[in-house]
Amino acid sequence: MSDFFYLIPLSLGLGFVGLAVFLWSLRGGQYEDLDGAAERVLDDEDAPILPQRRTVPGQG
């Protein structure tokens, strides 16, 4: 059984990666508008996630 002990740090390490990714996404503000994100995923328009400098439609 002790042959498989290397799995413990492996699983802990993977868990840590998951935790770190979650905390990173939390800090990035990805959970601030969950309702909006659910709708935006259906949006066909290819708009950037954050309002960047973009050409405004309708003004040529």
Where along the sequence are the contacts to other proteins (CB under 8 A)? 1-2, 5, 8, 11-12, 15-16, 18-19, 22-23, 26-27, 31-36, 39-40, 42-43, 45, 50-54, 56-59
For the bound state, the minimum distance from the C-beta of residue 22 to other proteins, rounded and expressed in Å, comes to: 5
For the bound state, the minimum distance from the C-beta of residue 28 to other proteins, rounded and expressed in Å, comes to: 11
Q: What is the dihedral sign for C-alpha 23, 27, 29, 35?
A: positive
Q: Which residues contact 30 (CB under 8 A, 6 or more apart)?
A: 37
For the bound state, the minimum distance from the C-beta of residue 39 to other proteins, rounded and expressed in Å, comes to: 3
Q: What is the DSSP string of 34-55?
A: HHHHHHHTT--S---SS--S-P
